[in-house]
Amino acid sequence: MIKYRVCSLVMAILSCIAIDAYAMTNAEKGLVIAKNQVAKNEGWEDSKSKVQMVLTSSNGRTYERDINIRNLENSDDGDKSLITFNKPLDVKGTAFLTYSHINKPDEQWIYLPAVKRTKRISSKNKSGPFMGSEFSYEDMSPFEYEEFEFTYLREEELNGEVCFVVEQRPKDRYSGYSKRVVWVDKSEYRIHKVDFYDRKNDLLKTLNNKNYKLYLNKYWRQGVSEMVNHKTSKSTKLNWIDYQFGNNFKPSDFNRHSLKRVR
């Protein structure tokens, strides 16, 4: 289940050279960077991870949740992801499924055990908060570069890494954002920071990814993701405890009709 929408890692390296060696418009340069992000991260097939979610209120009070996240690469379309909540008891059994797509809106469903019902998340409502966190439903979708228009802005050092800074404008008219500004390091195409701007073009949230670790000698994964809401002073931190690859997941493991039975 490996995506080949970008030809190969070799093509990504050649594109990286082209960024510096040839004249391109800022839109073309931004698109090449996005394609390189995808190409550098192809071939992992599937993964699962344990995550501690820490919600912090504006007065500093914290709430913890334990979740599992599973992901599956899709050779024909966007990737699939499944999030299940284990603790605390008031959210235990909640399951959230996303089918990301390349040329049409993503599909999302959430199973709520309290009402024993699976609810489809409308495209018009995906800017809403995901389970009371500072991440929106939209934020939980895997990245597909076909869903954005890009503009290269500049190079800038961040966290000791020289980064491309790229503006991403969602093509989906129901997106909760007017744009995202992303810091992607030149060395490995890891995302270190994302500024999210609301529909009024005001800075709404900032995501910071830290503590990257290399898996299988090829795939970089962050150890911490923290989203800060500048409007409410609330934040949500995801502590990624463990990543495992090669789980032999199948498309049937990501079945929206069986969300209530997912463990």
Q: Please determine, looking at this structure, whether the domain spanning 9-261 carries the CATH number 3.40.630.30.
A: no
Q: Token pair of 12, please?
A: 């990504």
Confidence of residue 3 (pLDDT cuts 50, 70, 90): very low
Instruction: Report d(CA 245, CA 240) in Å as an integer.
Output: 14
Confidence of residue 103 (pLDDT cuts 50, 70, 90): confident
User: Tokens 């997106």 identify what position?
Assistant: 175
What is the average per-residue pLDDT within 14-27? 67
CB neighbourhood size of 53 (10 A): 23
The per-residue pLDDT for range 130-171, each reduced to its tens digit, is 999 999 999 998 888 999 999 999 999 998 999 999 999 999
The per-residue pLDDT for range 42-78, each reduced to its tens digit, is 899 999 999 999 999 999 999 999 999 999 998 778 8
Q: DSSP assignment of 228-245, as one string? A: EETTT--EEEEEEEEEEE
CB neighbourhood size of 154 (10 A): 9
- Closest of 51, 70, 131, 90 to residue 263, by C-alpha: 70
Q: What is the mean pLDDT of the chain?
A: 90
Which contacts of 100-103 are long-range, i.e. CB under 8 A and separated by 24 or more positions?
100/141, 100/142, 100/144, 101/77, 101/144, 102/5, 102/77, 102/78, 102/144, 102/146, 102/147, 103/146
The per-residue pLDDT for range 164-215, each reduced to its tens digit, is 999 999 999 999 999 999 999 999 999 999 999 999 999 999 999 999 999 9
Reduced to 3 states (helix: H, G, I; strand: E, B; else coil), residue 45 is: coil
pLDDT higher than threshold 70 for residue 99: yes
